[in-house]
Amino acid sequence: MDTLTAILTRRSVRKFTDEPISDEHLDLLLKAGLAAPSACNRRPIHIYVIRNRLTLDILSHNNINARMLAHAPLCLAIVADKTLETYSDLRIDDGSAVIENILIAANGLGLGGCWLGTLRQQRWYKPIIEQLKLSENMVPIGLIAIGHPNETRVPGERYDETKIHFDDK
């Protein structure tokens, strides 16, 4: 699939088959993630690969919006190392660039993925820290559920010209 098609046809996929993600696909997803741009090229983002069924089950609890992890063969947790940052305000930007790269790459490979936002005030936050054994300087930015799609998502028409502002019109 060409790049633009992978971007324009990407949808969140929340239903997965039991088929595991191959090592080859995982490797490509990780490379796509770490190819993302990064503020001041500080590259504070780490990716935690979660394939253990029990861990996936635990992470599917305490957050109704993350239930699909109970049926996903893979979760990638995107985590920022605070000690590598120049500007903490750009932490989420760095992590989001990694997440979107991975979601587009997954679509291009015929896989499906869904971005799972993490909020410090969620009950879900503590289990993430505990399961990933994150130290004080490691901050979760978001998780991604990934698998072989078991649902068909039609690409939405998202282009809205009222949200585009030309300087010469």
Ligand X SMILES: Cc1cc2nc3c(=O)[nH]c(=O)nc-3n(C[C@H](O)[C@H](O)[C@H](O)COP(=O)(O)O)c2cc1C
The residues that touch ligand X, with contacts defined as CB under 6 A, are 11-12, 14, 65-66, 114-117, 153, 156
Of the two residues 5 and 12, which places its CB atom closer to ligand X in the complex? 12
Of the two residues 18 and 157, which places its CB atom closer to ligand X in the complex? 157
Measure Cα distances from 90 to 8, 37, 67, 118, 125 in Å.
26, 12, 29, 16, 20
**Strand ranges (DSSP E) for the chain?**
45-50, 74-81, 112-117, 138-147
Q: How far is the CB of 167 from ligand X (least distance, A)?
A: 28
Q: How far is the CB of 78 from ligand X (least distance, A)?
A: 11
Of the two residues 12 and 52, which places its CB atom closer to ligand X in the complex? 12
- Report the sign of the C-alpha dihedral through residues 51, 52, 56, 57, in that order: positive
Residue nearest to ligand X (CB): 117
